[in-house]
Chain A
Amino acid sequence: MKRRGLLSQKAPLFIRHLMNKGQVYGPVKNKTQMPEFAQVDEPSRVVLDYTTTVLPPKRLFQPPEETIYHFSRKDFTVEPAKVSGDGLKILVGLHNYDAEGIACLDYQMARGPADEGWAARRRNWVFVGVSYEPDQHHFSPSVGIGPDHRNGLDLFMDKADGGYNVELLTERGASLLDGFGGWSAPLPETPAPKFHNRLLPMPSDLPHILARSYEHPIWQQEAKRCFSCGSCTMVCPTCYCFDVFDELQLDMESGEKKRHWDSCQVAPFTEVAGGEIFRKETSSRVRHRIYRKFKYITDHYGRPFCIGCGRCIRACPAKISISEVMNNLARKAAG
């Protein structure tokens, strides 16, 4: 694999170079502590050294809220929403697990009737990864996404002594480098990052553990703490549920059909006319989320549908931890 050295002080120049090749998106400085994925207007605002973002990059392909169509009630006209398909888009500063999160949704959004919004927004992207220092919550290596994982990435900026070693992973990625003169010789490598959180079982054992844990008391125990606030699903890169609703303008004639992210952790999610709520107990909702990550989709995807980013753990006001739940189930299953 080809590598080129890039000194830290040249990184903004590199991003400036990419901005000449296409629209650049990446983790940009935010009012909050963590950067958020957004379009880059100024290279200096890109944060390449970050723990993680609150919201996953999924928001670029499935926005938290989007228009499905515009309508007019008067003559019953319906005009589907449009997205710009123009030009190359470059996502810089992507952690390798987030690339896998996008791959998970590429898979799920294409199943059955494909999601046209996802498909249209996913066209023409180049992904530039970057290495990261895990905090106490990341457990990506336990779901098969170790520090050397490069799936779905076109270029990778591997943190090295004094800067980065930029790895050329695909033709598409390599072609973006044409005309950039800021390279150095490859820089001395730094030791591989240490992870502080992990899953005890092998990824392939996770669905089997859940297969025998449906009635386990752990769901009730966790439910006692859960506020059903939905934060865990809002921040998850592989959650995709949404609500659909109509928004009428003041003229009461025109409006939009919209959709926005929704959460299976709130009770009304499954309520039907007549008042029946199919996942009424908090424990059944806590369980549902975790089965979606390690069993239901995993059974046909062949890999965990959780990328070990730890976002749900960081976001949870009740300190419910998906890794701890799985480890407790594994221990109990073994003992």
Chain B
Amino acid sequence: MVVSIHSGYVPQQAKIVRTEQMTAAEKLFELQIPDGPLGHEPGQFVEVSILGVGEAPISVSSGPNRGPNFELIVRKAGSVTEAMHQLGAGAVMGIRGPYGHGFPMERLKGSDLLFIGGGIGLVPLRSAIHYALDHRSDYGRVVILYGTKNPNEILFRREIEEWKQRDDVEFFMTVDRGSPDWKGNVGVITTLIPPLDLNITNTTAIVCGPPIMYKFVIMALRSKRLEHDQIYVSLERHMKCGLGKCGHCQINHLYVCQDGPVFLYSDIQDVKEAL
């Protein structure tokens, strides 16, 4: 008798329905799987595989209520992500997952939501933003703060225009360094926090960005008197399996791929390797 092993690593085929070059380095992929929808929670990720090249963990960027397909936004960072960028509509990539714990959208019902996305960190936040907008009456205010290095790196330009038009979304953005035709804010993302007029007791912050960003954003939120258990963060780590086994994603005793990537800040504030 022979038994098959490692079925948990076997990807399913996802067909690329549409792509869109968002910036020089970032490309959107709309994907379709045979038994879609994917059934993900906002904030979860999938392992994308390009056979012969490798795998990469990528956040599902679209909300779960946006039809049978789902979207990934991929930044060119190395071999797998570059191979993904070579692919266009009609091509196939491998998908396994979704994995991890996402944002607890049920539990956040009734709360004002403050989204803080730095750079590509807006990509995972967008799935939760979609969710909140698709269940708009379940939530209080929806405030979105977005910062990028420069205007060329701004993602979701069309969608941002829609958010700005809506009177039930408050959207603010800034760039670290402006350009001659940039008319918006210049400065790091934390500069957007002090002017906010928040209902502190009923606000939950949801933060995702580059590693360096968290400390400063949390400090700024603390000055606003937000408590540690009112802040969710989504963390990125090196990941190889997504199954809590390979060890690459560990922060102290936690496995980010299984225990995260979304954590309540009060749960990890004493976990030394977290932020």
Contact = CB atoms under 8 A, between A and B. Distances in A.
Nearest to B52: A248
Contacts of B187: none
A147 interface: no
Interface in B32-55: 49, 51-55
B86 interface: no
A107 interface: no
A250 to B, nearest CB: 12
B153 to A, nearest CB: 13
Nearest to A243: B240
Interface centre among B4, B94, B247 (most CB of A within 10 A): B247
B1 A84 contact: yes
Nearest to A264: B247
A255 interface: yes
B7 A80 contact: yes
Contacts of B252: 291, 296
Contact of A116 (B5, B53, B78, B247): B5
B1 A86 contact: yes
Interface stretch (A9-17, A71-79, A136-144): A71-79
B146 to A, nearest CB: 18
Interface size class of A (residues with CB under 8 A): 35 or more
Interface in A259-300: 259, 262, 264, 269-274, 276, 278-279, 284, 288, 291, 295-297, 299
A121 B13 CA distance: 28
A81 interface: yes
A112 interface: yes
Given A241-B247, A244-B246, A274-B77, A83 B52 contact: no
B92 interface: yes
A84 to B, nearest CB: 5
B53 A85 contact: no
Contacts of A272: 236-238
B112 to A, nearest CB: 31
Interface in B210-257: 210-211, 236-238, 240-241, 243-248, 250-253, 255
B3 A296 contact: no
A interface majority secondary structure = mixed
A69 B9 CA distance: 8
Interface size class of B (residues with CB under 8 A): 35 or more
Interface centre among A246, A248, A255 (most CB of B within 10 A): A246
Contacts of B180: none
A240 B245 contact: yes
Interface in A222-248: 240-246, 248
Interface string A52-82: 0000000000000000110111001010111
B185 interface: no
B94 to A, nearest CB: 7
B10 interface: yes
Given A69-B10, A255-B51, A278-B251, A242 B2 contact: no
Nearest to B244: A112
A203 interface: no
Contacts of A41: none
Nearest to A233: B247
B246 A242 contact: yes
Contacts of B3: 82-83, 85, 120
Contacts of B273: 278-279, 284
Contacts of A241: 246-248
A151 B100 CA distance: 35
A273 B77 contact: yes
Nearest to A71: B51
A335 interface: no
B166 interface: no
A240 B248 CA distance: 11
B8 interface: yes
A197 B9 CA distance: 42
B157 interface: no
A76 B5 contact: no
Nearest to B57: A272
Interface of A: 68-69, 71-73, 76, 78, 80-86, 109, 111-113, 115-117, 120, 214, 240-246, 248, 252, 255, 257, 259, 262, 264, 269-274, 276, 278-279, 284, 288, 291, 295-297, 299
Given A116-B7, A259-B246, A296-B252, 14 more contacts: A76-B51, A78-B11, A80-B10, A84-B1, A85-B2, A86-B2, A112-B243, A112-B244, A117-B5, A246-B51, A269-B238, A278-B238, A291-B252, A291-B253
11 contacts: A69-B6, A76-B51, A81-B5, A83-B5, A86-B2, A242-B247, A243-B248, A246-B53, A246-B54, A255-B51, A259-B246
Which 9 pairs of residues, A with B, have the shortest CB-CB distance?
A: A241-B247, A273-B77, A296-B253, A112-B244, A80-B4, A82-B2, A248-B52, A116-B5, A244-B240
Interface of B: 1-11, 13, 49, 51-55, 75, 77-78, 81, 92, 94, 210-211, 236-238, 240-241, 243-248, 250-253, 255, 258, 272-273
